[in-house]
Structure 1
Amino acid sequence: MADTKKVQKPVLKPLLSYARPYIGLFGISMLLAVITVATTLYAPILIGQGVDLIVGKKNVDFGALVPIIIKLCITVSLTALSQWLMSLCTNKITFNVVRDIRRKAFAKLGRLPLSYIDSHPHGDIISRIITDIDQISDGLLMGFAQLFTGICTIIGTIVFMLTINVKISLVVILLTPLSLFVARFIAKNTFDLFRKQSIARGEMTSLVEEITGDLKTVQAFGYEDEGEARFEVCNRKLQEVSVKAIFFSSLTNPCTRFVNGLVYTSVGILGALAVFSGNGFTVGNLSSFLSYANQYTKPFNEISGVITELQSALASAGRVFELIDETEEIPDAPDAEVLTEVDGTVDAEHVYFSYDPEVKLIEDFNLHVKAGERTAIVGPTGCGKTTMINLLMRFYDADSGSINISGKPIKNCTRDSMRSMYGMVLQETWLKTATIRDNIRYGKPDATDEEVVAAAKSAHCHGFIKRLPKGYDTVISDAFSTLSQGQKQLLCIARVMLSLPPMLILDEATSSIDTRTEIIIQRAFAKMMKGRTSFIIAHRLSTIKEAENIIVMRSGHIIEQGTHESLMAKGGFYSELYNSQFAAE
């Protein structure tokens, strides 16, 4: 129970803060709730008056009954109208709040360090932004509506009952807390179950995203049975937690209804005795009082009925706010310099970095790259090649040491301006869901159609683009398209060729391209890299023979450095790597 309080406390406050901008609508909803309750509670008075006018067979005062019926019709109509308007207001508050939370959660993704994205399952992040926020919406929508009318109804009925009979009213008021105690006890014990349900749902989403994200690999390696087994474990876990959560929360309604049934029965017995005693308590009064007793207990029933949704909403909100409250990447300093032009020199001085403090990776790394120099980074898998690119782009910050561009520490420059100085072509392609033209324009949105076509021709993808049904207007995406992996990579290359920044990073940029096309692309790269500082990561060492500077890395250290010829003549580790690739020949 202590854990429940610990989780609930930080959830309610931020959730209410998102509703604060809509305080005006909240006030209107409260006013409409008061009108709804007032007209609802006025109806039993009219009904009671009508009952007292029907004193016996053939002894009905129709003259006095007609105005009461007219008032009752007006009251019922006003109740329906105010309830409808109140629903509009509560819906608007709820969906605006949910929109704001989802907007903030999505915006947060852009400010989170890459380490967070790398260390959390993508499916779980998706589940928080979509499924968990939907759960908040369902809980708030039901909770707001019941809360508004419930509080007003409870207060109103107490007042009306006291005006009719104080003693019977006190019996109702004294018995009602029993239902509150039952609801509170069950709610406190179900919150943790709903939190576990949200976590299990996120794990399932992650697994489904993992399997469907690369179904070809799953089928190629015959992993279907193992995948189904893992899914069955997740599914069973979600089933067990969900059944427990729903079972315990479903006890709330029948338990509170039982207590409310006792209240209603007590009112009926005491009221009947009061009528028989002849102390002025009429049958009409009893009819009104029974109606009030029912309406008084109704909010408790309704609120207990939505306990499931409310608890689920709070548990989901906790997961969403965990994401929103995550530590963001270190923001740019207020006086950070905006880079507009660089000469292309890059220096790394005594750089230390590791993803896990317990596992050392980059240690005392030093590098000097001249302006316009082509620098190839080679080495065995896990030596730190891609990590160096992450540090150069400030996707990760070095633990210590300094990396400078044109003599300026990158930590003293704005990330956006620093990254705009680089053009990246990675081994893993990424295309947004848009036309081919818009995908090529990704790094330069204001590029003309002529510039887009010129970049596509330079990247040797103009030919296959023109063969598509709609040419450059063909809509594609990274996951769903008829393009081959090589064609996707050519589009990514065209994207960089369009923007032509002063520095380039090519990380296995031609890994998915056939040998003939690779030769053509290498020529295009040579033209593009002329006069530009370039960092090239390649496992096929034959592709980097022309680089002015080849850096050989091993276990996070530079062990050799020089041109292809000098390194081959040295007969060291680079020579072994190069010769091993051509050993078969």
Structure 2
Amino acid sequence: MNRRPGLLNNQKPANFGKTFKRLLQYLSKDKWIVMLAALFAVVSSLITVLTPVLAGKLLTSITDIWSQKSVDGVVDLFGIALTFNEVLILSIVTAALSTVLNLLQGYSLIGITQRLTYKMRSDLADKINTLPLNFFDKYKYGDVLSRVTNDVDTINQTLTQSLSEIFRSFTLVTAILVIMFVMRWDLALITTASVVISLIVAGNFVKLSQKYFRQAAMNNGDMNGHVEEVYHGHQVVKVFNHQKQAFEEFNEVNKRIYETSWKAQFVSSIMVPIQFFFTNLAYIGVAIIGGYLLITDSSFEVGFIMMFIQYARQVAQPIQSIGQTASIMQQTAAAAERIFFLMDAESETDESHKPKMLNKVSGHVTFKDVHFRYLPDTPVIQGFNAEVKPGQMVAIVGPTGAGKTTIVNLLMRFYDIDSGSIQIDGVDIKDMKREEVRSYFGMVLQDSWIFEGSILDNISYGSKDKTKEEVEKAARAAQTHHFIHSLSGGYDFNLSEDGLNISQGQRQLITISRAMLADKPMLILDEATSSVDTRTEILIQKAMDQLMKGRTSFVIAHRLSTIKNADIIFVMKDGNIIEQGNHTQLLEQNGFYAQLYNSQFDV
């Protein structure tokens, strides 16, 4: 199958700092809550740092009482004389307060991250609505979908876990080192050395894992694109016995995901035990030197050594958390890069300043020397000229690739022309808002589009102001009313996604009913009856003839027998009109149209 490129293939190298700075801008509205959560984290961490001090004082007090150095167990805590019971109660209160602060911090950060991802999804939805159609010609739908769902969820999960850990870990490390230096600078140097080495190790591993996380995110997007493409077209896959090749393609993408994810997770996972090794060395060093000092210096308290050993042990946990958080942040940055790439894609130009150009549309359409190409080096429409008078039914015919559908896409401003002009009632459509141009057309495409919901909702899509009676009237005109009433619930019958619980022909009838209900001044019909049986086609054709009266209509036809009654037929080849006239005139010319028409009846 043809594969469109993943979005990341065209991206510049990642900039972690710039990406994260931009991500944090989403927190700007909640900056006071972030600061409050940070304060909770700082206070909780400081309380946690005091725990070894209290534990050490309690141990010294117990030792003094046991050795009869002290009778009442009075403890000197930062110059304040406290009893053993008071220190015990203070230890319990600080532990409870730390727990409460951690709960408040978690509650605050969960709300912040949920609002961030809500805003990000909203921004993505707005952005997608402004992207030009040629953007989706270049990239896979599944990859775009992956950014709106998987990547946003990754940011949600990782930030929820990481923000609180960042505040807590750095506060703990800083507070522990400060206290250790105040109490004994030589022992503190041992722990500081292990912290510095651990952070250097983490930084190097983060740089190494960053590229793997970015590749893993890209491969996950490719997997979503592949799954969306293959499973959406599973019938075609089975009809052409392409299951083996599709499975091989799946395995190829799956293997890439395995390799990059394995490398990313492995590099991240070995970072923690290596950090743990260095912090354990510090722990052992403090224990050995502290034990030596306790033996050689009678002024040393056993509680002091225990407190210092606890700090050496305690500093290991936030250091490891910093390493783990750095790894998680790589995932967040990779997801954010993909999202921001989509947000930075070039949107359609803003046309909100343009005034409404036409108050009443007669349907006079003129093409003047129109040139257009999808790709820079591949011309599609070359010097197209045509005039369509109000109320005319215009059929556009020609071989595959002649530019028939492209003409309609240009007329609807799905794409903008390279040069020339297209005018409606004398006004260039470039001078109109896209919404204004599209509001003048009703459209029925060969590929019917149905969404999950009731038949009533599907027919009234884009015409929510219409009553149920008007919906039924449009359905009767499109020969749809009878089959709708044969379904349980009638107009309230709920269609599955893509309308798969009704036939293709019935889905087409619903889209025709939708166009009839919209009642636009001009119509575009792209082989609108291709999926219905001959009898229904005749009935629909009569309804279409009635609908097209007084309206300018553009009909793209492959079965030339359906456009015999057209007022004018444009015969296209290689992006130009090579013949035009009505059916009889073109047959009399015995040219290209006559060849096309007669070829459909050759046995």
What SS does structure 1 have at the residue aligned with 2:487?
Answer: coil
Correspondence for 1:44:
52
Call closer, same or farther: CA 1:13–1:327 in 2, change over 3 Å: same
1:61: Cα distance to partner?
A: 4.9
1:94: Cα distance to partner?
A: 1.5
Call closer, same or farther: CA 1:528–1:223 in 2, change over 3 Å: same
Correspondence for 2:15:
7
1:6: Cα distance to partner?
A: 4.2
1:73: Cα distance to partner?
A: 1.0
1:477: Cα distance to partner?
A: 3.7
Cα distance in structure 1, aligned partners of 2:351 and 2:450: 28
Correspondence for 1:368:
387
With the length of structure 2 as denominator, give the TM-score of the two structures: 0.94
**Which residue of 358, 363, 366 maps to 1:344?**
363
Indicate if the aligned counterparts of 1:4 and 1:191 stay in contact, CA closer than 8 A. no
Indicate if the aligned counterparts of 1:347 and 1:404 stay in contact, CA closer than 8 A. yes
**Which residue of 205, 214, 220 maps to 1:195?**
214
Indicate if the aligned counterparts of 1:333 and 1:412 stay in contact, CA closer than 8 A. no
Correspondence for 2:8:
none
Call closer, same or farther: CA 1:292–1:339 in 2, change over 3 Å: farther
Call closer, same or farther: CA 1:341–1:287 in 2, change over 3 Å: farther
Q: Which amino acid in structure 1 is aligned with residue 206 of structure 2? A: A
**Which residue of 87, 91, 114 maps to 1:95?**
114
Cα distance in structure 1, aligned partners of 2:18 and 2:449: 37
Q: Which amino acid in structure 2 is aligned with residue 252 of structure 1? A: M
Q: Which amino acid in structure 2 is aligned with residue 193 of structure 1? A: Y
**Which residue of 573, 576, 596 maps to 1:554?**
573
Correspondence for 2:258:
239
1:197-276 alignment, distance < 5 Å: 197-276=216-295
1:279-428 alignment, distance < 5 Å: 280-332=299-351, 334-337=353-356, 339-428=358-447
Correspondence for 1:69:
88
Correspondence for 1:134:
153
Show CA shifts across 1:23-53 (max 9, x none): 0210110111122112111222111110111
Correspondence 1:532 to 2:551: yes
**Taking every aligned residue pair, what percent have the same amino acid on both sides?**
39
Call closer, same or farther: CA 1:268–1:320 in 2, change over 3 Å: same
Correspondence 1:19 to 2:27: yes
Correspondence for 2:5:
none
Give the aligned CA root-mean-square deviation in angstroms: 1.7
Correspondence for 2:43:
35
Call closer, same or farther: CA 1:204–1:6 in 2, change over 3 Å: closer
1:425-574 alignment, distance < 5 Å: 425-574=444-593
Show CA shifts across 1:471-499 (max 9, x none): 11112144353110010010001111111
Cα distance in structure 1, aligned partners of 2:375 and 2:344: 22
Indicate if the aligned counterparts of 2:451 and 2:498 stay in contact, CA closer than 8 A. no
Call closer, same or farther: CA 1:37–1:133 in 2, change over 3 Å: same
What SS does structure 1 have at the residue aligned with 2:327?
Answer: helix
Show CA shifts across 1:130-178 (max 9, x none): 1122222222122212111112112221222223212222332233110
1:432: Cα distance to partner?
A: 1.7
How many residues get paired?
582
Cα distance in structure 1, aligned partners of 2:150 and 2:352: 36
1:320: Cα distance to partner?
A: 1.1
1:96-135 alignment, distance < 5 Å: 96-135=115-154
Indicate if the aligned counterparts of 1:102 and 1:129 stay in contact, CA closer than 8 A. yes
What SS does structure 2 have at the residue aligned with 1:553?
Answer: strand
Cα distance in structure 1, aligned partners of 2:212 and 2:525: 48
What SS does structure 2 have at the residue aligned with 1:55?
Answer: helix
Indicate if the aligned counterparts of 1:430 and 1:478 stay in contact, CA closer than 8 A. no
Cα distance in structure 2, aligned partners of 1:579 and 1:142: 70
Cα distance in structure 2, aligned partners of 1:11 and 1:5: 11
What SS does structure 2 have at the residue aligned with 1:360?
Answer: strand
Q: Which amino acid in structure 1 is aligned with residue 150 of structure 2? A: T
Show CA shifts across 1:154-213 (max 9, x none): 222122222321222233223311001100001001111111111111111111111110
With the length of structure 1 as denominator, give the TM-score of the two structures: 0.96
Call closer, same or farther: CA 1:11–1:340 in 2, change over 3 Å: farther
5+ long unaligned stretches in structure 2:
1-10, 75-82
Cα distance in structure 1, aligned partners of 2:121 and 2:207: 27
1:12: Cα distance to partner?
A: 1.4
What SS does structure 2 have at the residue aligned with 1:366?
Answer: strand
Indicate if the aligned counterparts of 2:354 and 2:433 stay in contact, CA closer than 8 A. no
Indicate if the aligned counterparts of 1:29 and 1:89 stay in contact, CA closer than 8 A. yes
Indicate if the aligned counterparts of 2:38 and 2:164 stay in contact, CA closer than 8 A. no
1:331: Cα distance to partner?
A: 2.3
**Which residue of 189, 192, 208 maps to 1:173?**
192
Indicate if the aligned counterparts of 2:14 and 2:337 stay in contact, CA closer than 8 A. no
Correspondence for 2:177:
158
Show CA shifts across 1:364-412 (max 9, x none): 1111111111110000000000001110000000011111111111111
5+ long unaligned stretches in structure 1:
none
1:65: Cα distance to partner?
A: 2.0
What SS does structure 1 have at the residue aligned with 2:420?
Answer: strand
Cα distance in structure 1, aligned partners of 2:36 and 2:358: 51
Residue range with higher mean Cα deviation, 341-350 or 266-275: 266-275
Call closer, same or farther: CA 1:304–1:338 in 2, change over 3 Å: farther
Cα distance in structure 2, aligned partners of 1:233 and 1:158: 50
Cα distance in structure 2, aligned partners of 1:338 and 1:317: 41
Residue range with higher mean Cα deviation, 182-191 or 335-344: 335-344
Correspondence 1:53 to 2:72: no
Cα distance in structure 2, aligned partners of 1:410 and 1:5: 40
Cα distance in structure 2, aligned partners of 1:91 and 1:473: 40
Residue range with higher mean Cα deviation, 345-354 or 309-318: 309-318
What SS does structure 1 have at the residue aligned with 2:356?
Answer: coil
Call closer, same or farther: CA 1:338–1:83 in 2, change over 3 Å: farther
Indicate if the aligned counterparts of 2:154 and 2:332 stay in contact, CA closer than 8 A. yes
1:336: Cα distance to partner?
A: 4.2
Q: Which amino acid in structure 1 is aligned with residue 54 of structure 2? A: L
